[in-house]
Amino acid sequence: MSFLFDMCGFTSLSGILASTIQLLSLAILARALLSWVRPDPSNPIVRVLNSVTDPILEPLRRVIPRMGMMDITPLVALIGLGILGQAVCGLGF
- DSSP-assigned states of every residue in 7-64: TT-TTSHHHHHHHHHHHHHHHHHHHHHHTTS---TTSHHHHHHHHHHHHHHHHHHHHS
pLDDT in tens, 66-89: 888 888 999 999 999 999 988 888
Spell out a b/e string for 15-36, using b for 16 or more CB atoms within 10 Å of the CB, else e: bebbbebbebbebbebbbeeee
Q: What is the pTM of this model?
A: 0.83
pLDDT in tens, 18-66: 889 999 999 999 999 998 898 888 999 999 999 999 999 999 999 998 8
